[in-house]
Structure 1
């Protein structure tokens, strides 16, 4: 039986499909109706909030040079029965699929599209550079590569990567994440770029981490640090071998980590939206090994180990996680 939330989500999804129509006149007509629907009930506005975020992403793609949302329309044809292939869909899940199936999710912006090397959501890419160094890009990641006679420079645009640096005593290898410049001659490490933080995990040898206006800090093998504009954070020991194995097997290894952070990571590795209330789940901590190349299985493992969790897969492109109130 559908809940009130499910019904409202379906209604919101139908509006979003109309608002993302290829026909500008249809989009304009839908605007006034959508505004009236949201104003009719506060719950309508709540249901529409995340869907509107998806709409903004789709319209951003529409406005980019070369942006093409026609694959989303092809997805509509694929998921709707032939007799129901109209501009309105009958389910929130199908609507979410239409909006997201173009392949342009939150990870797609101009900087991602213009990057030298990219990996799509849920995929990994390994590239050997001209000097013999190897970059393995994680899900939804992008980098720019610029080599010169004096240095080898890699800009991490978004996401994360495993770096295996070929030795060259005349040209240092520098990874720039905006927050910090990581300087190495020959080493292995992983770098993850968050909104305001760079996470550096050293697997082998040493890197010098430099934040503008702060002294450089040497980070050794088996050490991890979180770097912000305030400088290099504390150096914390971790199991480098386990991290290397996790990268090779496309796994997420967590030990007493907040569930919200685990869900954040799973969300990066799947298309669409993984929605949850951070405050409601704040007190749950996880110790597990989860497959990142099968996030449906990872979510099922979480559900199996935490019976209080409810995971609703409306479609592959819209998953809701919460804790229903017990009666």
Structure 2
């Protein structure tokens, strides 16, 4: 056999294995044996590490379809059928959109298995102690007696020590009921997210982490929200019940706002509530609760405001209602992408 052919086949196998690991990380958490197997595979050679990094980044690019549909938005057939050929000059945007069929192209999973896809960073899955899939909620009892209720498509990890009870929210949203300080518990209860922390001065509060911001909302007692690495009063705030604050990595703390706690925690009752919310934010929230991606193809449409109460168990109907109210249309590539235009 020609040596170059053999090397090409070896590289193809490494890339196929990398894709398998990325897809596997979207399923149930790895067992200790599987984690060790994955670590050994990735450490075999620089080519293995590069292939996994590329597959992970490509997979994560799927999330960009919500904001930048690129060639997919321009070239989807009027009847909503997947185009059979890449358009001339489609370039990287088309290739990124086309990666949704990666598993099929490599023969890794059957068509039915596509509904198990998780569109996000596989490295989050490696770090998570607890997580939920789209449309799933989970109640978790923590070692100190506190509870954490994870919303849909959320992930968290624990860092309990002798000095503090720290939970890091890696993505999504969670409702915390912190076991109070007392004779048997002197460690503060802290929830970290991005570049900030929320320290319980009472019991119940919510933390919602999106791709670019974190929002903390207090249901009972008080919570101190601070930017990481400082106790400066200008970079921290104490929230009372019915208040919320938003912070971002670049801009810091926003102003404290009055919050509707029932609306913010509606997901705990299987509902999503919107009150004059831009469609772009509505779609970002709906994408947490369903398989596949909703993509808005028109900037003006993305700015339109939406109000309503929707059941998380029937988001197809919610999308139909929203499209009808906004006089928009949809085109689907089940179960991967739904265009809203």
TM-score by length of 2: 0.68
SS of the aligned residue for 2:117 comes to: coil
SS of the aligned residue for 1:52 comes to: helix
State the aligned residue count: 260
Cα shift at 1:6 = 1.4
RMSD: 2.9
Name the residue aligned to 1:251.
271
Aligned partners of 2:176 and 2:204 also within 8 Å: yes
Name the residue aligned to 1:54.
100
Of structures 1 and 2, the one scoring higher in RCO (CA 8 A, sep 6+) is 2
Which residue of the other structure, out of 289, 301, 324, is the alignment partner of 1:281? 301
Name the residue aligned to 2:180.
167
User: 2:329 aligned with 1:310, yes or no?
Assistant: yes
User: 2:181 aligned with 1:181, yes or no?
Assistant: no
Q: Distance in 2 between matches of 1:192 and 1:176?
A: 11
Cα shift at 1:54 = 3.2
Aligned partners of 2:138 and 2:149 also within 8 Å: yes
Cα shift at 1:196 = 2.7
Aligned partners of 2:81 and 2:333 also within 8 Å: no
1:4/1:154 Cα in 2 relative to 1: closer, same or farther (>3 Å)? closer
1:277/1:153 Cα in 2 relative to 1: closer, same or farther (>3 Å)? same
Q: Distance in 1 between matches of 2:340 and 2:78?
A: 17
Which residue of the other structure, out of 90, 115, 125, is the alignment partner of 2:128? 115
Q: Distance in 1 between matches of 2:300 and 2:123?
A: 34
Name the residue aligned to 1:240.
261
TM-score by length of 1: 0.71
Cα shift at 1:53 = 4.9
Aligned partners of 2:80 and 2:332 also within 8 Å: no
Q: Distance in 1 between matches of 2:263 and 2:295?
A: 29
Cα shift at 1:216 = 2.1
SS of the aligned residue for 2:145 comes to: coil
Q: Deviations over 1:268-327 (max 9, x none)?
A: 211112111251313411111112232112112213323x111223324321111xxxxx
Q: Distance in 2 between matches of 1:280 and 1:231?
A: 28
Q: Distance in 2 between matches of 1:191 and 1:116?
A: 17
Unaligned runs of at least 5 residues, structure 1: 16-36, 60-68, 79-97, 323-327
SS of the aligned residue for 2:264 comes to: helix
Name the residue aligned to 2:245.
225
Aligned partners of 1:201 and 1:224 also within 8 Å: yes
Aligned partners of 1:179 and 1:197 also within 8 Å: no
User: 2:145 aligned with 1:74, yes or no?
Assistant: no
Q: What does 1:86-125 correspond to in 2, within 5 Å?
A: 100-101=114-115, 103-125=116-138
User: 2:317 aligned with 1:297, yes or no?
Assistant: yes
Q: Distance in 2 between matches of 1:104 and 1:11?
A: 18
SS of the aligned residue for 1:130 comes to: coil
SS of the aligned residue for 2:322 comes to: helix
Q: Distance in 1 between matches of 2:245 and 2:197?
A: 13
Aligned partners of 1:311 and 1:320 also within 8 Å: yes
Q: What does 1:137-156 correspond to in 2, within 5 Å?
A: 137-156=150-169
Aligned partners of 2:198 and 2:226 also within 8 Å: yes
Q: Distance in 1 between matches of 2:212 and 2:248?
A: 6
Aligned partners of 2:275 and 2:307 also within 8 Å: yes
